[in-house]
Amino acid sequence: MNKDTEKLKELIDGARRIVFFGGAGVSTESGIPDFRSEKGLYEAKQEYGRSPEEMISHSFFAREPDVFFRYYKENLIYQDARPNAAHIGLAGIGCAGKDIKIVTQNIDGLHQLAGSEAVYELHGSVLRNYCLKCGRRYDLDYILDPANCAKEGSGTAWVPWCVACGGMVRPDVVLYEEGLDGGTVTAATDAIVRADLLIVGGTSLVVYPAAGFLNYFHGESLVLINMSETSVDSRADLVIRRPIGEVFSELGY
């Protein structure tokens, strides 16, 4: 086992309450591209002629829902993605009897698929959808089925419609120009405040307000696992510059 991994395992074994705060880099090893990487959404679908921020903003969704849904379904949904060693390792820490909570910026649901139970999804999840008119809930398969996107007179081909009331169904994800869910923010903040070990992985910590959550941590040890430098490296007790899946597979949980 690598020395930095040995140190991380010591911190985990000695901790009473652990929080893992993760970003897009946690899921790249599952084949889901980082939003800002060279292979991410900034390089995808150039035919749209618009930035990703505009395409997945609230105002664009309201103005051009059909184009929004086409882009969303082609670029933000990865049905074949499966949990990687990082997701599995984090779930294993919980199975080993440790009190661990996950705060994630990702919307893929892979932490829960791996077996983690206490997961706070700051930006929502592609697996959840709801009708804007009546609130009825729908799963991912429903909005991907072309039969549910056909509505006479709508003039759209990609927008899913509610079977109960005919209203538009939207993803339960936080779009640009929208605020984070208050209940999720409160739960995530409380977990970080109470933690004595905070592990941050797969995030450059440049996206706010999510990156500001680290300011609530006043526990004993801060660990950063990221391939590139971050603005809080100097505050960390341990910095690991290796693939996050590799690190968690070495831990052996």
Active site residues: 123
Cβ-Cβ contacts under 8 Å for 204 (sequence gap 6 or more):
23, 36, 226, 228, 230
Closest CA relative to residue 240, chosen from 221, 222, 226, 220:
226
Which is it for the CA torsion 87, 68, 168, 147, positive or negative?
negative
Going through 105-240 in order, the beta strands assigned E by DSSP cover 119-121, 124-131, 137-138, 169-173, 197-201, 221-225, 238-240
